[in-house]
Amino acid sequence: MLNSIKVSDYMAASLTTFKPDMEMREAINFLVDKRISGAPVVDDHGNLVGVLSEQDCMKVALSAGYHGDYGGLVKDYMNTKVTTIDAEMSILKLAQLFIDAPYRRYPVLQNNRLVGQVSRRDVLRALKSIARSTVA
């Protein structure tokens, strides 16, 4: 049954995104205030150009600790080698990707455009939904 459920059924379509020229202090404050662990980075045309995660932000912490430098731009710290998935991928295949890779989330593309983001928790929500419908 999980094989018939698509990523688009459980992904977050309303996304927080960052711009490459955003100040890191602002991005870090946003991540902390909103309690999120990362967000896609898009250019002015909405094209995915990277992802900024809490792990990327640790570089700012090191720079601040060693050099007293708290600044910089998102583009200087973001990861540009982003693994994306298609909105039509099955949740089951996505679960396997999460097992095989260290990622907590994937940007979701449809026709090469960013349309959402899907996390490990979204896979668990799909599993919970399926389990509930088979018990009922």
- Does this model's pTM top 0.85? My answer is no
Number of domains in the chain: 1
Please say if the pLDDT value at position 136 is more than 60. no
pLDDT of residue 59 exceeding 60: yes
Reported confidence tier of residue 113, pLDDT bands at 50, 70, 90: confident
What is the arithmetic mean of pLDDT over 115-125? Answer: 93
Question: Which CATH number covers residue 114?
Answer: 3.10.580.10
State the residue range of the domain holding 60.
2-135
Alpha helices in the chain (DSSP H): 24-34, 54-67, 74-77, 91-100, 120-135
pLDDT over 70 at 135, yes or no:
no
pLDDT at 64 over 80: no
